[in-house]
Chain A
Amino acid sequence: MTAETQDVKSKTNPLYDPKVRAIIAQIVVVVLFVGFVLYIIDNTQANLERNGVSAGFDFMGLTAGFMPTGPNFNMTNFNMNTSTHGDVFILGLVNTILISVIGIVLATIVGFIMGVLRLSSNVLISFVATCYIEGTRNIPLLLQILVWYFGVILLLPHVKQSFDIFGVFFLNSRYLAFPSVSFNDTAGYALVALIIAGLGMFLYYCFTLYRGQGSSTSASADTDEDEGDKLWVLWILIGFAISLPAASIIRPIFGDLSHLLLMNPVTAVLYGVVFVKVVGLVTPRGTTGKPVFRALTGFLIGLPMAGFFAEFGMAVYLALNAAVAAAAGIYAMIQWAQSRLDETGKPLPVFWMCLGLVIGVPLVVLIVTGFPVNFDVPELKGFNYRGGAQIPASMMGLLAALTFYTGAFIAENVRAGIQAVSHGQTEAAHALGIRPSKTMRLVIIPQAMRVIVPPVTSQYLNLTKNSSLAIAIGYPDLVNVFTGISLNQTGKALEIIAMTMLVYLTISLLISLFMNWYNTKVALVER
């Protein structure tokens, strides 16, 4: 029998072997693909030569010679006479990130409220919420942007008849003026205090973890794994936190060279290697390995970012440091409170503790140093409001449209998420004697988040991509100023479109990395 099968096998034409076929098919595909790419490259070269256009990124250093943004909305201090196309790119990138972040925050708020309202027991409320959701979801975003801009905001009163809101906000058809906050130099101490408090909390938590790990050598494999799980986010944060001071040390020493040292992946890898060595020395055995590489990831992401933000001056830089420190502190506090809850059964008021850290600590320092904060309230002088800060009409229009459009989609995700939690969960919680408010917060929402977060993250990504529609109403985002105006001026279609796509690709990659991390974190552990 076996001999016969072997005989048959030897006679079979290798062409019928699926493996051979797969290889042949792939060779064909590769040849076709490479041929296609070569054909395109050849055509492109011929076309570029014919048009007398040279390829390359030299244009990034050329003076742009146009003003992509208004004087009241110029966060990167763009200067028409000296700024280059590279600066146009930075300006567009900053504006894209700005509108995306604000839009994401607002859309989340609108979406959660509307999603919950749609499930209201009051039919009128749920009807209104349904009307909002169906109305905005079924009308193209571009149309909504135009309606908000041309149909609402441009029809607001002129500057002289601005709506006066509490005497500090002034809304008219050109902008929303609002008071700006400026800090004296001594206000930096508040941020420094926050950095110290946050990092201190974090390091204390690391210390308790480290001690716990050292003592529980005989712990079961299960808890070890658990600890390792907790540690890995921590390592990314450590890496990130260290990269910021690292950048601040490198910057003053090397001056202009710091560009090369910070923004360069090769040197970043070098730092990373040194860092891994150091971490390897201080971490206990068994935890080096994966966590170190996670720390490295954090460091490698953090360093170029730190270098990038250092460009905007000390205040921004300090604020970023403070934000990272606060995040680390909050993380440590949540984890610490959780482990205390596990040990003693006593809950800690984590929310208030975090609030105390993020707002209380800087506030106390501010008061101690004599409140070195100035509010600059806008005032009508001549034909315009002077002082304070302004949101241009285009940004208001885009923001309103993005918020309400994405909010409708988020509302649907929220509704689906809440409905996905079976009613038995509520009943079980009630049977255990948990109060309704706590049932919602501790039983329903955590389970609903599992369903809500992945689609909502992709809505965030959509919002970021949709912010490119700014071009329709002239908000100076990346696509508008760089892919639009710079491309028209320089004619470097290939380079500019490639760079634009790369930016969005990076953002989307970061968001999907987060999503994967979250999914693995909250995934149901099944049998």
Chain B
Amino acid sequence: MTKGYVKTELHPDLPPPSSESGKIKWLRDNLFNNWYNSIATILIFYLAWLSLPPIIDWAIISPVWEATSNKDCPRDGGACWGMIDKRIGQFMYGFYEPGERWRPDLALILFIVAMAPILFDKLPGRDKAALFLIFIYPAIGIVLIHGPIEIVGMSGGGGLVFWGVLFAAAAGYGFWSAADTNPGRATLSFAVAGIVAFLAFLSWGFGMPVMETSSYGGLLLTLILAGVSIAVALPLGILLALGRRADSMPIVQMLCIGFIEIVRAVPLISVLFMAQFMLPLFLPEGVNFDNVVRALVGMSFFAAAYMAEVIRGGLQAIPKGQFEAADSLGLNYYLAMRLIVLPQALKIVIPGIVSTFIGLFKDTTLVSIIGLSDILLVGKQSVTDSKWLGLEHEAYFFVALVYFVFCFGMSRYSMYLEVKLHTGHKR
């Protein structure tokens, strides 16, 4: 019954037509799927053809990489990266003593090493790194970047005796209480001993020379401002958020809401002005902060208000059952918050915290208005130097690049976290 024209086997699958597969289909779907998209595609290619080559030529192909003044850079040539090269020290450290610049470098390296296990959970030692960052790193950081802060003079051994006696008393009392099986008192005593050790270390500081804050500048100052204010803002923000949610204490609630809303309603520059002009009025005679500390105070308060709102968002996302479960276990407020609520709430809002930090990082540029030489002001001033007149584009391009690398990196990290933390309700 077989006939010659009837096939006995299936015809093998043919590849799809060339217009429906591979690169051509991709082009058709994504670039030329209808007439206006086709026009737009061609137009964009044309504009890119017009604008990209000159920019690439300016930035990469024909710039002057080494220069001693703007005379080495032809006016119609490429960028004058020689200027950045010559002033890179100022861009990074401001007027920080060149011989001592290893100190902030070391502080930064320490910070990165300690931060790595916290940022990427594949690395070991996360808890230890966190403890180190919270309790030990502040002292090391201050001592490295600033040098010792004289609380009680170290010179002549008098301070050594003072701190030694204090530490011995606290630690001894702690051991005695521990032997006496009084864990609460022992913990407290050891905490006091720890604080004493912290302060003693601050006033000793390896006897390194003190770097005045007025010499800080460039990226160093930017990082100090952003880092310190976020470090202050996080705990302060948690307190404010909890205060705002404390329904049983209307007065506390009112104070917290007032602080948060007022600070959030006004521009940062006015907060900085306030720190600059009003803070000295508020302090008793003789007590005075320098400019950097004033800016730090202003920025910390500002960041704390925003942080409080981010954390409140997290607190509101915790189901009421969690609070009730904590109550039913007999946990008091402090323990319930520390063990049950905050770990969950903070985990939810980590992306929010990162984006607040990005905002804060960008906002540090505002200190240039009150005269602190952060990286933006260094860039702005570097072209007022008669040697480098007319190089605004290079200076701003470089500063923008630095900010972009930091902010874009952080926002990508925050997106990575969002995906990673999105464990609870994954479909």
Q: Could you tell me which A residues sit within 8 Å of B by CB distance?
A: 18-19, 22, 25-26, 29-30, 33, 40, 43-44, 46-48, 50, 120-125, 128, 134-135, 137-143, 146-147, 150-151, 461, 465-466, 468-469, 471-472, 479, 483, 487, 493-494, 497, 500-501, 504-505, 507-509
Q: Are A138 and B369 in contact (CB under 8 A)?
A: no
Of B180-188, B202-210, B404-412, the stretch lying at the interface with chain A is: B404-412
**Residue from A142, A465, A500 within 8 A of B365 (CB atoms):** A142
Q: Are B31 and A469 in contact (CB under 8 A)?
A: no
Bound CA–CA A314/B280 (angstroms): 46
B213 to chain A minimum Cβ distance, whole angstroms, is: 21
Between B268, B285, B403, B404, the greatest number of chain A beta carbons within 10 A of the residue's beta carbon is seen for B404
With A22-B248, A466-B267 already in contact, the answer to whether A141 and B408 are too (CB < 8 A) is no
Q: Are B37 and A143 in contact (CB under 8 A)?
A: no
Q: Are B396 and A142 in contact (CB under 8 A)?
A: no
B30 to chain A minimum Cβ distance, whole angstroms, is: 4
Q: Is B1 part of the contact surface with A, judged by Cβ < 8 Å?
A: no
Size bin of chain B's contact surface = 35 or more
Q: Are A125 and B280 in contact (CB under 8 A)?
A: no
Q: Are B265 and A504 in contact (CB under 8 A)?
A: yes
Q: Are A493 and B278 in contact (CB under 8 A)?
A: yes
Q: Are B33 and A121 in contact (CB under 8 A)?
A: yes
Interface of A is mostly: helix
A393 to chain B minimum Cβ distance, whole angstroms, is: 14
B306 to chain A minimum Cβ distance, whole angstroms, is: 11
Q: Is B6 part of the contact surface with A, judged by Cβ < 8 Å?
A: no
Considering the complex, which residues of chain B in the window 247-294 have a beta carbon less than 8 Å from any beta carbon of chain A? 248-252, 255, 262, 264-270, 273-274, 277-278, 280-285
Considering the complex, which residues of chain B in the window 200-248 have a beta carbon less than 8 Å from any beta carbon of chain A? 248
Give A471's nearest chain B residue, CB to CB.
B369
Q: Which residues of B contact A479 (CB under 8 A)?
A: 267, 269-270, 273
Q: Which residues of B contact A469 (CB under 8 A)?
A: 269, 366, 369
Q: Are B269 and A504 in contact (CB under 8 A)?
A: no
Give B383's nearest chain A residue, CB to CB.
A150
Q: Are A48 and B30 in contact (CB under 8 A)?
A: no
Q: Are A124 and B399 in contact (CB under 8 A)?
A: no
Q: Is B418 part of the contact surface with A, judged by Cβ < 8 Å?
A: no
B337 to chain A minimum Cβ distance, whole angstroms, is: 14
Q: Are A143 and B399 in contact (CB under 8 A)?
A: yes
Q: Are B248 and A138 in contact (CB under 8 A)?
A: no
What are 6 A-B interface contacts by the 8 Å CB criterion? Answer: A19-B248, A22-B249, A125-B44, A479-B273, A494-B281, A504-B270
Q: Which residues of A contact B281 (CB under 8 A)?
A: 43-44, 47-48, 493-494
Q: Are A134 and B396 in contact (CB under 8 A)?
A: no
Q: Are A143 and B365 in contact (CB under 8 A)?
A: yes
Q: Which residues of B contact A121 (CB under 8 A)?
A: 29-30, 33, 37
Q: Are B251 and A134 in contact (CB under 8 A)?
A: no
Bound CA–CA A429/B41 (angstroms): 30
Q: Which residues of B contact A48 (CB under 8 A)?
A: 281
**Residue from A138, A140, A497, A508 within 8 A of B363 (CB atoms):** A140
**Residue from B29, B45, B262, B376 within 8 A of A142 (CB atoms):** B376
With A140-B376, A141-B362 already in contact, the answer to whether A122 and B399 are too (CB < 8 A) is no
With A25-B252, A140-B403 already in contact, the answer to whether A122 and B267 are too (CB < 8 A) is no
Bound CA–CA A121/B36 (angstroms): 11
Task: Add 9 more A-B contacts to A43-B282, A505-B266 (CB < 8 A).
Answer: A29-B251, A47-B283, A140-B365, A143-B376, A147-B396, A465-B268, A472-B369, A487-B273, A508-B265
Q: Is B368 part of the contact surface with A, judged by Cβ < 8 Å?
A: yes
Q: Which residues of B contact A137 (CB under 8 A)?
A: 407, 411
B363 to chain A minimum Cβ distance, whole angstroms, is: 7
Q: Are A509 and B37 in contact (CB under 8 A)?
A: no
B331 to chain A minimum Cβ distance, whole angstroms, is: 13
Give A405's nearest chain B residue, CB to CB.
B362
Q: Which residues of B contact A483 (CB under 8 A)?
A: 270, 273
Bound CA–CA A494/B274 (angstroms): 8
Q: Are B31 and A123 in contact (CB under 8 A)?
A: yes
With A25-B252, A44-B282 already in contact, the answer to whether A146 and B266 are too (CB < 8 A) is no
Q: Are B392 and A151 in contact (CB under 8 A)?
A: yes
A515 to chain B minimum Cβ distance, whole angstroms, is: 13
Q: Which residues of A contact B400 (CB under 8 A)?
A: 139, 143, 147
Q: Are B285 and A47 in contact (CB under 8 A)?
A: yes
Give A25's nearest chain B residue, CB to CB.
B249
Q: Are A142 and B404 in contact (CB under 8 A)?
A: no
**Residue from B33, B250, B396 within 8 A of A146 (CB atoms):** B396
**Residue from B249, B268, B283 within 8 A of A43 (CB atoms):** B283
Bound CA–CA A471/B363 (angstroms): 15
Q: Are A140 and B362 in contact (CB under 8 A)?
A: yes
Q: Are A146 and B41 in contact (CB under 8 A)?
A: no
With A124-B31, A138-B408, A493-B278 already in contact, the answer to whether A43 and B284 are too (CB < 8 A) is yes
**Chain B 34-69 interface 0/1 with A at a Cβ cutoff of 8 Å (1 = within):** 000100110011000000000000000000000000
Q: Which residues of A contact B393 (CB under 8 A)?
A: 151
Q: Which residues of A contact B369 (CB under 8 A)?
A: 142, 469, 471-472
Bound CA–CA A482/B249 (angstroms): 39
With A47-B285, A138-B403 already in contact, the answer to whether A122 and B41 are too (CB < 8 A) is yes
Q: Which residues of B contact A505 (CB under 8 A)?
A: 262, 265-266
**Chain B 360-388 interface 0/1 with A at a Cβ cutoff of 8 Å (1 = within):** 00111110110000001000100000000
Bound CA–CA A143/B402 (angstroms): 12
A481 to chain B minimum Cβ distance, whole angstroms, is: 13
**Residue from B33, B284, B376 within 8 A of A122 (CB atoms):** B33
A410 to chain B minimum Cβ distance, whole angstroms, is: 16
Q: Are A468 and B267 in contact (CB under 8 A)?
A: yes
Q: Are B404 and A124 in contact (CB under 8 A)?
A: no
Closest 8 CB pairs of A and B: A508-B265, A138-B407, A493-B277, A465-B267, A140-B362, A468-B267, A142-B365, A140-B365
